Amino acid sequence: MIPPRSRRYSGADGAEVELPKGDVTEGVVRVGGTVRRPHQEQSWAVAAYLDHLEAVGFDGSPRFLGLDEQGRDVLTFLDGDVAGDDLPPWALTDALLASVARLVRRLHEASAGYVPVEPFPQQSVAQDEFELVSHLDVTPQNTVVRGGEAVGLVDFDLAGPTTRLIDSFNTAMHWVPLRAPADLRHDLDQLARLRVFADAYGWTAEERAGLAEFGAQRADLSYRRMKLRAETLGGGWERMWREGVGDLIRRRGEWLRANAEGIARALR
């Protein structure tokens, strides 16, 4: 396989269809069976990681095809449904939640043993322990669904070295979701859904017992990281901070600590 840095895409062009912009990355378009994304600092590391996933047979991620004439990253398009910010009813079923957990578990199994051949940007606040490389942003907006089941992941912009528990908890945080009830947009039984995710992913008894405090500590860290990114990177990071993401993160941590006993009981 040609190394990512030497790969150029010369496939047929066509009409560009703008795809929903993420919280940070804009200018993502679909051209036929490809997606074109602005080239970024982490692009080569992500491309090499996607090559690894392809080599081991993981079918739930896009393939990196190279750079186009405009210097954009070109990836294969994963066909299916992706939820918007206002989640539709089909995105809130327990069956889909369980399939998301299984997809992340498959990703972790495919990622095991991969040693980055290109450097990922380092976290400026408390770099995660390295157990494996993973997605780290498995939100409903980054998950491809077909027939009510999660089948693929897109937008690997935040991928990097981490642990299975960090990435799986982060996924549950977005999908259950885990946040203060006042911040919920839908009437959901959070503890019941958390149990669905835990069982489908396969968290250990030890992980379940300490999950609330683990999540609260991650919220503390996330607050510090988001604040620094808003102050130093601006753009979408600054906009999210201005819109109150820091307060939401703090309320999540407080809710997790206040409900630690109930969470542990629900997961036993």
What's the pTM value of the predicted model, to 2 decimals?
0.95
> Are 51 and 4 in contact, with CB atoms under 8 Å apart?
yes
The answer on pLDDT for 65 being more than 70 is yes
- Which whole number is the average pLDDT over 217-234? 92
Q: H helices of the chain, where?
A: 43-55, 94-111, 164-175, 190-201, 205-209, 211-232, 235-242, 245-258, 260-267
Q: Closest Cα partner for 51 from 136, 132, 128, 111?
A: 111
Digit-coded pLDDT (tens) for 121-170: 987 788 899 999 999 999 999 999 999 999 999 999 999 999 999 999 99
Confidence of residue 21 (pLDDT cuts 50, 70, 90): low
- Determine the pLDDT at residue 36: 96
Confidence of residue 22 (pLDDT cuts 50, 70, 90): low
Taking residue 68's Cβ as centre, other Cβ atoms within 10 Å add up to 18
So where are the chain's domains? 4-76, 204-268
Q: Closest Cα partner for 146 from 243, 63, 245, 80?
A: 80
> Are 32 and 43 in contact, with CB atoms under 8 Å apart?
no
> What is the three-class DSSP state of 219?
helix
What average pLDDT does the chain have?
94
> Are 48 and 117 in contact, with CB atoms under 8 Å apart?
yes
- Measured at the alpha carbon of residue 47, what is the angle toward residues 45 and 52, in degrees to the nearest 5? 95
